Structure 1
């Protein structure tokens, strides 16, 4: 994690090191999520892995299949660590083959960011739960044009980010891969052409053609910038960037956040978690493995989770963290910190919202992003999605062959 999130991570490392004199943790920045997993695979090959690795959610199947990790469930049970007061969805995501494989760390969900001043000026009452149909109408009302018809403020700015397509699937009740999101049996088919994604592509294209939606490419940093500078009044992003966006906006306008939207036809099911988890690697002396585990246990204590939550916007893993006075105070003063937590608490716990578990996911996510790009360039939506699905299925089959499935 880089930037302010990297600084927050390093702060936790420093605090742990200062809290005791038995273990020293050294944190190494290896780039973004894709870089992290690629460098870990290279470290496996060179037989020089770290004791502990932070790997994003969609690397879970690969990490389990690698056989290079110690399921944290084994250590949890040995030490009788009570997971009963942990928020259920992050544990649900990283539970594979009946075992919690890694410890959730930075967990997030997508939310909608609104320019509250713009909403109020337009006479629109803010609320937490939105359908895509309602959001389209609001975006149209918030779009501003000059006397020549040129857009001076877009209703909404969005990036072409595959994570959104996955979350749209879950929130509308659809699996993103077969075998119940790869939870009943290993996934063999990618369902990225499901009805919710098809509807989203049409929704996106309609608003784009109307000049209501600003398409910024694949980088969410660019949609964040468009929102923070007032170029657009709405955007989608992770709860993890709440603090960063708030700091960038400064006092220019007030921010309001709402739940990730759903289509009225399907109804709201709920979102899956994103972010990353901590994996303990095999092959080290027992004393060093215990040292790594001691750091993981320290990180998920209520106090550390509270500090992480307030410093970043990622939600805490433990209910006790939400009950601490400093967290209650911030939530009273800024209800935006509560949005993602309430969204998660009101999401149904099922294999739909557990999230898709499959190999080759990083490549497949890129293929889904290419599908939206193709649709924006004029390819019919069914054709764009069919091509992406075919290539995604091929990528998944190739992965399954490499691990003997």
Structure 2
């Protein structure tokens, strides 16, 4: 396999899928999705159990992404870890170094699974692969950031298409206030996934040295030296001018959108179906668009977001065979299509995506523009700046940057000072993480 061909479609030998077992093997999966997405995960687990008699899969939500990760590491120390753990994208580097998981490519070899790596979208696989292109986890729920907008509000502001550039987007927000009469043009929060990580990938600029951490634990943050700072200064101007509604609670922002108060908000494509259900009740007309880019930039691929399924160490061959059966089930095109349709996440393989395209799925009225999420991943070959981010203690680093940006919004420091201080504090955490693994290199 190569670093640029990472896709997988699992086909397991008939003996593995059919089996002779007379007693079920029980395996446990912990996941962190809530709300409607939780229901979809449980439904998929139920479909797997109904499709065969050899394995009993017990799926349970054990908290948020971060909560289940911490609980799983504690469970590893106690010898009571789940068989499968859903880990958010930003936890990839930590999982690789933890020693708590069996890499996906090793599991494939161990079970004798036939894997078509070429079927997998590069932009997704890169996030969960080592430097040799070997997949360490099986991508499960994959998404990217989109703009959700009220089509009627844009028409009232004099627009017949959604802006492609940030310069045009900036003008649109003021037109929504001045021409369409909205007190709130944008339901907004400090969203580093969209406005720092996705923004940097699309504009082909680094978040950190050492290829965003892929090449070594000695990476350092550089976001205070890129146009990310100017991008947040623009958003601070929106905040100061009162044309946005700032609220860190996602459900509040979504409600402001679906009830027609604020005609734009940023969200994952994974929120498509839940937003659709809420918008039907309120009667607004809406759709999604790709994130804008600055006019002097040719945009490259969005980053993939979401999470992957990691196979935890410490189990028997019989249990690993049961785990392999579940992965084989998830890889079936009809299961990927059912998952995408029910959640808003997109298929992780080209074959499943092509099946949806060829069937006319994205031309159906309820699905118009959903394929923009996949197309935003495919518009360019990933570069070292758009493969992903592999930094230790990154959850805490995100929190630090958010704290500093909040202080800039309140006027206690400039946005440049916020990023300078955030980078200084963040780099301290990176050095702490590096010291935890002395002499260790990322795979």
Normalised by the size of structure 1, how large is the TM-score? 0.94
- Residues of 1 paired with 2:309 and 2:128: CA distance? 10
Q: Is 1:130 the counterpart of 2:160 in the alignment?
A: no
Match of 2:48 among 7, 10, 16: 16
Q: Map of 1:187-266 to 2, 5 A cutoff? A: 187-216=218-247, 218-250=248-280, 252-266=283-297
Q: Do residues 391 (structure 1) and 422 (structure 2) align?
A: no
1:172 maps onto 2:203 in alignment:
yes
Deviation (angstroms), 1:391? 0.7
- Tell me the equivalent position of 1:45: 77
Q: Take 2:174 and 2:339, find their aligned partners in 1: how far apart are those partners?
A: 37
- Structure 1 residue 75 corresponds to structure 2 residue 110: no
CA distance in 2, matches of 1:83, 1:153: 50
Aligned residues of 1:108 and 1:315 also touching (Cα < 8 A):
yes
Higher alpha-carbon deviation: 8-17 or 181-190: 181-190
Give ranges in structure 1 of 5+ residues lacking alignment. none
Judged with a 3 Å threshold, the aligned counterparts in structure 2 of structure 1 residues 328 and 223 are, in CA distance, closer, same or farther, namely: farther
The Cα shift of 1:145 comes to 9.1
Q: Larger deviation: 363-372 or 315-324?
A: 315-324
CA spacing shift, 1:23–1:140, aligned 2, 3 Å = same
Number of the residue aligned with 2:378: 345
Name whichever of 356-365 and 37-46 sits farther off: 37-46
- CA-to-aligned-CA distance 1:114-171 (integer Å, 9 cap, x gap): 10111122220224x622111111111112699xxxx754111111122122111111
How far the C-alpha of 1:243 sits from its partner, in A, is 0.8
TM-superposed CA distance for 1:383, in Å, is 0.9
Does residue 111 (structure 1) correspond to residue 146 (structure 2)? The answer is yes
Residue 385 to residue 110, structure 1, CA distance change in 2 (3 Å): same
Post-superposition CA distance 1:73-92 (Å, at most 9, x none) = 12345422102122221111
Q: Are 1:143 and 2:177 matched, yes or no?
A: yes
CA distance in 1, matches of 2:42, 2:114: 28
Alignment of 1:284-363 (within 5 A): 284-324=315-355, 328-333=359-364, 334-363=367-396
Contact 2:401–2:418 (Cα < 8 Å) also in 1: no
Whole-Å Cα distance in 1 between the matches of residues 49 and 173 of structure 2?
48
Indicate conservation of the 8 Å contact 2:104/2:136, yes or no.
yes
> 1:78-89, aligned counterparts within 5 Å?
78-89=112-123
CA contact (8 A) 2:203 2:298 kept: yes
Select between 40-49 and 233-242 the one with higher mean Cα deviation.
40-49
Post-superposition Cα deviations, 1:157-200, rounded to whole Å, max 9, x if no partner, equal 11112212211111111121210112233352122324231012
User: For residue 3 of structure 1, what is the aligned residue in structure 2?
Assistant: 35
- Pick from 102, 115, 127 the counterpart of residue 137 of structure 2: 102
**TM-score normalised to structure 2 length:** 0.86
**Partner residue, 2:28:** none
Q: Secondary structure at the match of 2:262?
A: coil
Distance 1:139 1:348, change over 3 A: farther
Quick one: distance in 1 between partners of 2:218 and 2:164? 31
RMSD: 1.9
Cα deviation, 1:335-367, whole Å, max 9, x if unaligned, reads 221110111111431221111101101101111
- Of the three residues 405, 422, 426, the one matched with 1:372 is 405
Structure 2 residues not aligned, in runs of 5+? 1-32
Shift of 1:234: 0.9
CA distance in 2, matches of 1:63, 1:169: 24
Determine the C-alpha separation between the residues in 2 that align with 1:291 and 1:153: 55
Contact 2:211 2:384 in 1 (8 A): yes
Indicate how the Cα distance of structure 1 residues 61 and 112 shifts in structure 2: closer, same or farther if over 3 A, else same. Answer: same
Q: Is the 8 A contact 1:242 1:313 kept in 2?
A: yes
SS in 2 for 1:157: strand
The answer as to whether partners of 2:127 and 2:304 remain within 8 angstroms in 1 is yes
8 Å Cα contact 1:144-1:154 kept in structure 2: no
For 1:100 and 1:345, the matched residues in 2 are separated by 19
